[in-house]
Amino acid sequence: MQSTQSPSDIFIVASAYGVDFVQKQGHAAVLPLAANAGADGLEVRRELFLGSDTEIALQLAGLKSLFGAHGLQAVYSAPESLFRPDGDLDLALLASRLHEAEILGAATLKLQMHDYAGRVDAAALQRALGQSPVTLLLENGQQKSGCSISEFTSFFAACSANSPAIPVAMTFDIGNWSWAGEDPVAAVQALAPHVRYIHCKDVQGSGMRRFAVALDEGNVDWRACLSRLPGAVTRAIEYPLPADPAAQACHVRQLRAAATSLSCGASTCQ
């Protein structure tokens, strides 16, 4: 798996600027904000586009040059799962989203793992991924399936057992383990070798009233997670950012510091 990202890269997830804002103004309006905040890249969220698949592809093509103009890298995120409801691979969807990521110029595609049934058609997945230069990352989400530690360990064991190993890795969302009722530090211990991208957020509340907040504003031991996760992978801010540009830049600087020293003190960024 190849990537142009460096160990200190900090990305911002587009939704951190507000779902309504991005849907109305477009990702093009977010790119200069991320660049001015000192971020290295932006995670483009497919669910925030409006229009048909064809219209989305055209918008992605337009964004590619804007990323270059702002000196930013791209991660492409789609809300769908690698698996269909019957547990089989959704190869048609995978091919479509990999192609969209290529149009955008993204090095990685992030999907979910809902409906994972404990089996993988290794040969089919190997062929599908071999036809694209884009790296596939699977994220622990907030649904009832495909979000537990045991499901991810099972999936990656199956990928590693294939010869050659299936080139798929993980987006580790520190906060999302709360939705799954899992200990994030235990998840790190089980899954760290597979992690290639980290979503950073804290979490407040419980049940249906659980929501993402800035680091040090919730109850997740995110420092313990980062200290045990691979150092040479990109971190991404995935919590609501303040409207003030200077405050946005502060969050980027402090997460960048945390990537190496774990002494960001994010509570000072309000």
Which pairs count as long-range contacts for 52-55, CB under 8 Å and 24+ apart, including other chains?
53/96
Q: Domain residue spans in the chain?
A: 10-268
CATH architecture of the domain with range 10-268? Alpha-Beta Barrel (3.20)
Show pLDDT as tens, one digit a residue, over the chain (270 residues). 444 545 579 999 999 999 999 999 999 999 999 999 999 999 999 999 999 999 999 999 999 999 999 999 999 999 999 999 999 999 999 999 999 999 999 999 999 999 999 999 999 999 999 999 999 999 999 988 999 999 999 999 999 998 888 999 999 999 999 999 999 999 999 999 999 999 999 999 987 789 999 999 999 999 999 999 998 899 999 999 999 999 999 999 999 998 776 533 334 455
Say what the pLDDT of residue 158 is: 93
Say what the pLDDT of residue 262 is: 55
Say what the pLDDT of residue 2 is: 42
Do β-strands 234-237 and 168-173 pair in parallel, antiparallel, or remain unpaired? Answer: unpaired
DSSP label at residue 47: G
Question: Which residues fall within 8 angstroms of residue 263, CB to CB, at 6 or more apart?
Answer: 257
Say what the pLDDT of residue 258 is: 84
Say what the pLDDT of residue 238 is: 98
pTM for this prediction: 0.93
Say what the pLDDT of residue 162 is: 87
Q: H-helix or E-strand containing 248?
A: helix 245-261
Q: E-strand spans in 36-84?
A: 41-45, 73-81
Reference 198, options 167, 177, 219; nearest CA is 177
SS (H, E, C) 149-182: HHHHHHHHHHHHHCCCCCCEEEEEECCCHHHHCC
Say what the pLDDT of residue 208 is: 76
Instruction: Please give the Cα distance from 250 to 248 (Å, whole number).
Output: 5
